[in-house]
């Protein structure tokens, strides 16, 4: 009876030694600006205050040359985040993009945490049928937002390379 758990533990340790995750690396995909406007004060709820924020436009830029890659369309999407009772902000954002090179649309969805009205870090998911941007659909991306200075807010988007070494 004692032999089986010991054998199982030894096998698990050997397997763990064979598969090691690489340290993720980040690739800077975009930076940009975004104009936000609160629609109302925080709305009280059972988990904290719910935010209602309109996105009034913005741009995604190529970080290496500053060229506009896409426009964030004003009035579409928005923020329905939560300021928890622990004073941590949990953004829940949707934005509609229009790519400059082919005029197709893209969608950006964000979920993360941060400081209400100041900064946030979020997982970002792209959805697009643009032939020049279709590779974004499968990427794991991180969105860093800074609203600490006057409007517009600034952001950076990074892809995460999480290749596993054997």
Mean pLDDT taken over the chain: 86
What average pLDDT does range 120-139 have in this prediction? 94
pLDDT confidence of residue 113: 96
Task: Identify any residues that bridge with 148 across adjacent strands, giving them in sequence order.
Answer: none
Say if residues 114 and 83 touch (Cβ distance below 8 Å).
no
What pLDDT digit, counting tens, does each position of 32-64 carry?
999 988 888 889 988 889 998 899 999 999 999
What pLDDT digit, counting tens, does each position of 81-109 carry?
999 988 999 999 999 999 999 999 999 99
The DSSP-derived string for the chain is --HHHHHHHHHHHHHHHH-EEPPPEEEEEEEEEEEEEESSSPEEETTEEEP-EEEEEEEEE-TTT--EEEEEEEEEEEE--EEETTS-EE-EEEEEEEETTT--EEEEEEEEEEETTTEEEEEEEEEE--TTTGGGGG--EEEEEE-SSSSSEEEEEEEEE-PEE-
């Amino acid at each position: 009876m004692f032999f089986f758990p010991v054998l199982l533990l030894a096998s698990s340790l050997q397997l763990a030694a064979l598969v090691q995750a690489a340290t993720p690396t980040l690739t800077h995909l975009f930076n940009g600006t975004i104009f936000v406007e609160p629609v109302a004060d925080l709305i009280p709820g059972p988990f904290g205050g719910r935010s209602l924020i309109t996105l009034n436009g913005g741009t995604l830029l190529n970080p290496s040359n500053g060229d506009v890659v896409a426009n964030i369309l004003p009035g579409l999407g928005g923020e329905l985040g939560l300021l928890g009772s622990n004073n941590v902000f949990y953004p829940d954002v949707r934005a509609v993009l229009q790519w400059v090179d082919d005029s197709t649309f893209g969608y950006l969805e964000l979920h993360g945490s941060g400081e209400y009205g100041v900064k946030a870090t979020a997982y970002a998911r792209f959805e697009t049928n643009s032939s020049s941007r279709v590779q974004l659909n499968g990427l794991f991306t991180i969105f860093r937002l800074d609203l600490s200075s006057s409007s517009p807010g600034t952001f950076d988007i990074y892809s995460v390379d999480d290749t596993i070494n054997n």
